[in-house]
Amino acid sequence: MLGEQIGEETGKVMVRRVISVEGGTKVEVTVQGTGKLLGVEIRSNVTYCAGIRPDGSLYGEAQGLVVGKGGEQASFKAAGVGKLLDGGAVSSRSVVLLQRLSELPSFERGRRRLRVQRRR
């Protein structure tokens, strides 16, 4: 494991659309989720765009907003690579850059390595 796990959430796909089929298929997906980040109950909205590369692997970029139960807010950008699994599931690894937006202390520890598991 690269870093300490600091969050976990579950989410539901709200929108999925194909945005390109020329030069490789690219899909945009928006997910709404709930969970915990740094011990704070959160709701999140994430949109990512992923494409299949010539070698069959996936590459994607995401951006999103996380809102804590007490009004804490953080935005993030992420990039990752992955592969398709049986049944359409995806296994991926990502780098996430989290930016605390609120002045509330709950997200203050966000400068640590981030390992968030997303389950759908």
Q: Where are the beta strands (DSSP E) in the chain?
A: 7-20, 26-37, 40-52, 58-68, 73-84, 90-100, 116-119
Is residue 111 scored above 70 in pLDDT? no
| Best CA proximity match to 46, nearest among 113, 94, 91, 112 | 94
In a domain, 1, yes or no: no
What's the CA gap between 18 and 25, in Å, rounded? 7
| Best CA proximity match to 74, nearest among 33, 115, 32, 104 | 104
pLDDT band at 119 (very low <50, low <70, confident <90, very high): very low
In a domain, 52, yes or no: yes
In a domain, 47, yes or no: yes
Residue located via tokens 């899909």: 27
What's the CA gap between 104 and 70, in Å, rounded? 9
In a domain, 2, yes or no: no
pLDDT band at 115 (very low <50, low <70, confident <90, very high): very low
Domains in the chain, number: 1
Helix (H/G/I), strand (E/B), else coil: 55: coil
Q: Which domain holds residue 53?
A: 7-119
In a domain, 85, yes or no: yes
In a domain, 27, yes or no: yes
Q: What are the pLDDT digits (tens) for 68-78?
A: 988 888 888 99
Phi, psi for residue 38 in degrees, rounded to 5: 55, 35
At 5, the amino acid letter reads Q
Residue located via tokens 């997906």: 29
